[in-house]
Amino acid sequence: MEKTSHIAIVSSLGFSHLVPIIEFTKRLIKLHPNFHMTCIIPSLGLTPESSNAYLKTLPSNIDSIFTPPISKEQLPQGAYGGFQIQLTIALSLPTIHEVLKSLSSKAPLTTLVVDVFAFQTLKFAKEFNALSYFYCPISASFIINPLQALPYNNGYKGITSL
């Protein structure tokens, strides 16, 4: 019987960040059924029902843990969304660390995968002797645009071909 590898995933708050990273974990589980994954989700205010409903559909080898919600009063008034996400994760770091410590006490943590906005949590991987990965989903059109622009570079002065 193969040994189970325990992987922690740290998502950003927001359904648009949660869904891609969860779908990624589902694909990993399909390819590697011996993986067990725990998704740690920082929260700001109340957790949307859509997130709860989505997480209830996960396979048994994917767990989800919401950190205690950060109060909106703790954030600067009028802060834009990206800054709110960054600050929420920064304020959740002690809780995320405790969750990782608790997880690694039950089974060794082999890998930590973090969302683009949760990059601050990468530092915990070293403490738990785990591999660390940065998850940044991008679309195919984002990748292809620079490649399609290459032929146009020859028409402009000062721009050289790659």
Q: In this predicted model, what pLDDT tens digit does every residue of 88-109 receive, in sequence order?
A: 999 999 999 999 999 999 888 9
pLDDT of residue 22 exceeding 60, the answer is yes
Distance CA 132, CA 24 (A): 15
pLDDT of residue 55 exceeding 80, the answer is yes
Q: Residue range 42-48: average pLDDT?
A: 82
For residue 73, what pLDDT band results from cuts at 50, 70 and 90? confident
Tokens of 135: 């998850």
pLDDT of residue 64 exceeding 70, the answer is yes
| 63 is annotated as an active-site residue | no
Q: What is the DSSP letter of 14?
A: S
Structural domains present in the chain: 5-153 (3.40.50.2000)
For residue 2, what pLDDT band results from cuts at 50, 70 and 90? low
pLDDT of residue 78 exceeding 60, the answer is yes
Check 6, 63, 97, 115 and give the catalytic one: 115
Q: Residue range 75-79: average pLDDT?
A: 80
Residue type, 115: D
| Cα 97–chain centre separation | 15
Check 17, 32, 36, 97 and give the catalytic one: 17
Distance CA 7, CA 72 (A): 30
Q: Residue range 38-62: average pLDDT?
A: 86
pLDDT for the residue numbered 15 = 81
pTM of the full structure: 0.81
Residue type, 43: S
Q: In this predicted model, what pLDDT tens digit does every residue of 116-139 receive, in sequence order?
A: 889 999 999 999 999 999 998 877
Distance CA 8, CA 124 (A): 11
Query: Which candidate, 144, 65, 73, 71, places its Cα nearest to that of 97?
Result: 65
